[in-house]
Each structure stands twice: as structure tokens, then as C-alpha cells.
Amino acid sequence: MTDANATRRLANAIRALAMDAVEKANSGHPGMPMGMADVATVLFTKVLKYDASAPFWPDRDRFILSAGHGSMLLYALLHLTGSKEMTIDELKRFRQVGSRTPGHPERGHTESVETTTGPLGAGISNAVGLALAERILAAQYPTITDHRTFAICSDGDLMEGVSQEAIAIAGHYKLSRLVFLYDDNSISIDGDTSLSDSVDQIKRFEACGWNAVRIDGHDPEAIEAALKATENADKPTLIACKTVIGFGAPKKAGTEKAHGSPLGAEEIAGARKALGWDYPPFEIPEDVRSAWAEAGLRGRAARKEWESRFEAIEPAVRDDYERRLHGDLPADFAATMTAYRAKLYAAPKEVATRKAGEAALEVVSTALPELVSGSADLTPSNNTLTKNMTVIRPGAYGGTFMHWGIREHGMAGAINGLAIHGGLLPVGSTFLVFSDYCRPPLRLAALMGLRVVQVFTHDSIGVGEDGPTHQPVEHLASLRAIPNLNVFRPCDQIETAEAWELAVSSKTRPSVLALTRQNLPQLRLEETAENLSAKGAYELAAADGPAKVSLFATGSEVSLAIEAKAKLDAAGLPTRVVSAPCLDLFFDQPGSYRAEVIGTAPVKIAIEAAIRQGWDAIIGSDGGFVGMSSFGESGPYKEVYAKFGITVDGVTELATRLAASAA
């Protein structure tokens, strides 16, 4: 058998498993695995540094299936190369509740799945982050970091806008150890891609600083040659692989009919014949099984060699590397943050929380060498480049701050990649209103349980003159709506320091820090050992006697609540104030704690310069609300607050009115 024929036979095992699993599930996408089987086979049998027995080996090459709908390609590869978890039974349970083989690959759910993909563009932007992570870690740990990142992507990946952000970042930063294998099959769900697309991808990638070639994706020699040519590249590489979707299927190959549904018994029988694959469903002949098993061991020698290099490095460095890989914090980190808060208590000040955030970030990033900060071109506004950081530049990766350009979506996708890689703790930043641009990757960070931190400054109508296009109103609610995401909105420099501590300590949940543009007074003046923000909400100021009014507020509106309390107290309405820096954490608390914080005052009012949605859970549907119900307006911020009635008088008048009707 020629080498090419042998490769084809291995690839046909993938094709058969994909057809069979989709058929059994009566749901799924056979076309892509069948089309890209040859490319994937060459990659896994000749190129990828991969050891199926050690899926988490840190210096493995990373393989990302950005075209996540072709999940059976990945599951078949894992099964054939000998992943313990990926048994033939799991393939038979494709797309069933509780299986290891969900419709789209899910990191954390299935071993050896590097990242969760499916939403198009996500995988390739993660891949850019993975390739960047390797360069950053290579600068920090040169003797033990030396791997590459390969991503299979589809027409859809390259049509999504985030692809442009991702490839522009990769090209600019010269991530030469990154390779995209583009499944250039000219078919999407609607039909031929010529229905909606005529982009010259080779030229486009070249314009963005990539090497780009087009090959026959069914020619094993061409695939291998193209992959080998990337080994010493000085730029990232696009290999556009011309393939036939559903390769082998007699009638559906090359059409959208092969994309997203089972082929059917007749077509599968025809494909088996065309491919010369005479085995029953889910059966792999011994020669094929053993050849694949061998491929699964290809990286073993490299891994053993890496392990001896790892053992050779200084124990303290090795321990810190392992600590970072596990996402643990240094043993003295909590003490560092307590000491920092003590310093803040000793010198109270009025400061914007974005500035307070900068100061806290300086402490945090000094303590955590794994922290990589960055901004989507709002560095001087987000205040996320602190004095101790140095800037990462193309070819010079020994820094801790990324200028991402005006690319919020690409940034968020890439920092997911930094987190996925291991060993790094990524921080992104932009304006809160532009969090909308990065919701898809933020959702995936929450779904995967990644420790990423997004600093979203300019967090309300307090933005002022820039007007409604730049004033978030619905964003706090819509971010709180995402499961497994903590949204912090601290009220002063103490809560800001607490939020930073909680965010970087959150191993399996991403965090958002919503910070103000405008100055806020320090409200936390009594030193506490406890991080009061940890429970999400707490009584900041008690009433003098049984409370008639409870005020609940976050961020910039807490000081307004405190001022209103003074007036209401004076007017004979004993008032307490609850600061709620993180509603997500508060709703996670036991019912008894929640009831205690919510309290029993007859009047409950929430104050937040944003929409009411979500607050009824605390104040009740009959509670009072001082906030927004429309978009904002351009003007000096105090005038904008006044225009929308978010003022001390607005609160006291509402409280007085509600107290009168409650009496």
C-alpha cells in the first residue's frame, strides 16, 4: 500500500465513524469530518506533538476544532488515537444526554477537548490566544515551552467578523507557530458559498501578515508538505485545503445536503462502497486500529524528554509553574490583599473606581506574574496598564500587557485562549457599553468556567458627554443574566480591591469589573478583616432602630444612598443601606443570609443608574426603583443624572412617598 493509500485508509475510519455516529444519533454533521478526514489524519499521524495518554501534558501541540459542528472528527480522532475516556460506546452515545460526545465539543466536559467550539469564529480566536500564550510562556520559561497551535476552521469561521480581528492580531504579533487549516469546501448551510461570498482568502490573509497557500485537501503528500513548510515560518500560516464536503457520499458529497443531517442508510452504504470500507458500523479493522494507536503515541518520546527538562529546572521555578498551571494563587496572596486594604483604610480618598482599579491591579499583577493585562485601544481610559507592566510587542513576548487594537471580540476570544492554555491569568478591558461586542466569547468563558477578568469601565450614564451610544443602561442586567459569571460593581476603592481579589481567586468562573469614569467618595471606612464583597451584598450602614427604609445600591449609587439615608434619618425614617457589589454572588448565598440582608423594612428601594430588570428579586415587585428606563443623554454627567432623577432628592422623595403609603 502506498503511503497515500495508507493515509486514506486511516482517514476512512474517521469518515465511517462520523457517518455511523450521526446516523445512530439521527442528528449531527457528517459532511465536515468526511471532508477534512485526510487533513486531520496527516496532522495527527505526521505532525502533531500529541500523546493520547497524557492529554494535559503542558508542552503538547494544541489542536482546535474551530468548526465545532464537525465534532465527530475530533471524537473519532480521540477514540482512534487511544483516549481512555473516548470509548466506542461514547461514540455510539453521540449527542445523548450525559455522554462525553455532545453535539459540539465542550472543554471540561470531555477530556482532550482544548476548547468549547461551535459558535463560529470562537475557536480561531481562542487559537490566537493559545499561540500567544505559548510565546509569552516561552519568554518566561524558555527551556520548557516549545509547541505549536493548529486550528481547523470553516468558511463560516472566516466569514464571521471576529476572524478579521483574530487574524489581524496574529499577523501583527507574528505568531509564527500558529497554523489554520481551512476547510475550503465552498459549501455552507444555504448552499454554495458563492451565494454570499467572494472573498479571496489567500490575499486577505496575506494582507493581514500571514503566509497563505492553497492545496488539495485530499492529497496526503500535499497536506504533509504544506504542514512541514510551516515549521520554520516567520509568520502565521493559512493552509486553504480544497476539500469535498461529505467526501465519499455518492449523491450528497459536495453539497449542503451533507452538512447538517444524517446521510441515510442508502447514502452511507454507497459511501462505504466508494471508500472501500467494508466494515459494519462502529467497527475498526485491526490494521487501522493499530496504526492509529501508534499515532496516539507519537508524542510520547517528546513528552518524556520534556519531563526530564522540567525536572532539571530550579525547584522554586518548577513549583511556581505548577501553581500557575493549576490556577492556584501564591500562598501569601490573601495577606498581600489584606495589607493593601489596610493601606487604603489608612488613607481614604475620593477616586474613580477605574483609578482605584488601576491601583489594585498594580498590587495584584505584582503578586501574580501569570497576569497578562490588555485593552482594546482604551488603555488610558480603562487604566489597565500599570507601572509594573511592560508591553508585549511582535517578536518580544516577555511582557505582561497587550495592545489588542479596537477589537473587543477578538480580544475576548484571545484571552479565553490565554486562560485555556494554562499558566496565565488574562485581563481584558474596554468600555462597559462595548461589552456587547464581546458577549459571545464571554458566554463561552462562563460555559467553560475560565478564570478571565474583564475590566469594563465607564459603567453608566456617568460617562456623560459621550452620550447614549456610550452610556450603558442595560448591560449590567444583561451580563448578570449570563450563568456562571460574576459581575462586580464596586462602590469605592475598598470594594474595588475586594472585587479584584475575588476575581483572580475565582478558579472556575469569569468575572466582570464594572468601574466608573467619575470620582466616588470612600464609603468603607471601618477596617474589616473579612472581604465583605465575597457574599455579594452586605449592610453597609445600619438604621438607628428598626428600619423603615432599606436602600440597596451598587457602585456609584451607593454614595447617593448614604446621603439619602442621612436625610431620611433626619426626617424620622430610620434607613439602612445595603451595598451590593455582586448580585451574582449574593444570589448564591443561603436563603438565611439573603433574608437577613434584604431585611424587613416596609420600604425597599434599589438605586442603580441602569434598568430595573433583576432588582425585583430583592425589592419585590412593589419595591421602589431609582434608575433608568430608557437610553441616556449627552451632557455633563451630573446634569445627566439630574435629568433622569437619579439624585439624593429623587431617592428621599420616593422613600417618603412609599413610607406614607405603607403606613
Annotated catalytic residues are 408
Give 546 or 620: the residue with its C-beta nearer to a copy of itself.
620
Residue 559 C-beta: closest distance to a copy of itself, Å = 22
CA distance 313 to 320: 11
Give 3 or 200: the residue with its C-beta nearer to a copy of itself.
200
111 is an interface residue for a copy of itself by CB under 8 A: no
Beta bridge partners of 62: 149
Residue selected from 53, 96, 338, 366 as contacting a copy of itself according to rule CB under 8 A: 96
Q: In the window 453-472, what residues touch a copy of itself (CB under 8 A)?
A: 464-470
657 is an interface residue for a copy of itself by CB under 8 A: no
190 is an interface residue for a copy of itself by CB under 8 A: yes
301 is an interface residue for a copy of itself by CB under 8 A: no
Q: In the window 531-560, what residues touch a copy of itself (CB under 8 A)?
A: none
Give 117 or 652: the residue with its C-beta nearer to a copy of itself.
117
Q: Is 2 exposed, middle or buried (0-12, 13-18, 19+ CB in 10 A)?
A: exposed
Candidates 25-33, 317-325, 538-546, 560-568: pick the segment binding a copy of itself (CB under 8 A): 25-33
561, three cell numbers: 444612598
CB 536 within 8 A of CB 368: no
Q: In the window 322-341, what residues touch a copy of itself (CB under 8 A)?
A: none
For residue 561, the SS3 value is helix
Residue selected from 474, 539, 563, 653 as contacting a copy of itself according to rule CB under 8 A: 474
106 is an interface residue for a copy of itself by CB under 8 A: yes
171 is an interface residue for a copy of itself by CB under 8 A: yes
Residue 201: CB partners within 8 Å, gap ≥ 6?
158, 182, 184, 212, 238, 240
CB 48 within 8 A of CB 150: yes
Residue selected from 102, 129, 462, 490 as contacting a copy of itself according to rule CB under 8 A: 102
For residue 228, the SS3 value is helix
Candidates 38-46, 119-127, 238-246, 546-554: pick the segment binding a copy of itself (CB under 8 A): 119-127
Q: Is 344 exposed, middle or buried (0-12, 13-18, 19+ CB in 10 A)?
A: buried
Q: Which amino acid is at 384?
A: T
Residue selected from 7, 81, 83, 99 as contacting a copy of itself according to rule CB under 8 A: 99
Give 411 or 425: the residue with its C-beta nearer to a copy of itself.
411
476, three cell numbers: 449590567
Q: Which amino acid is at 654?
A: L
For residue 128, the SS3 value is helix
Residue selected from 1, 2, 56, 195 as contacting a copy of itself according to rule CB under 8 A: 195
209 is an interface residue for a copy of itself by CB under 8 A: yes
207 is an interface residue for a copy of itself by CB under 8 A: yes
Parallel, antiparallel or unpaired: strands 191-192 and 187-188: antiparallel
Give 349 or 612: the residue with its C-beta nearer to a copy of itself.
612
616 is an interface residue for a copy of itself by CB under 8 A: yes
Residue 570: CB partners within 8 Å, gap ≥ 6?
none
How many chain residues are in contact with a copy of itself, going by CB under 8 A? 112
Full DSSP string of 282-307: T---HHHHHHHHHHHTTTHHHHHHHH
160 is an interface residue for a copy of itself by CB under 8 A: yes
CA distance 421 to 292: 26
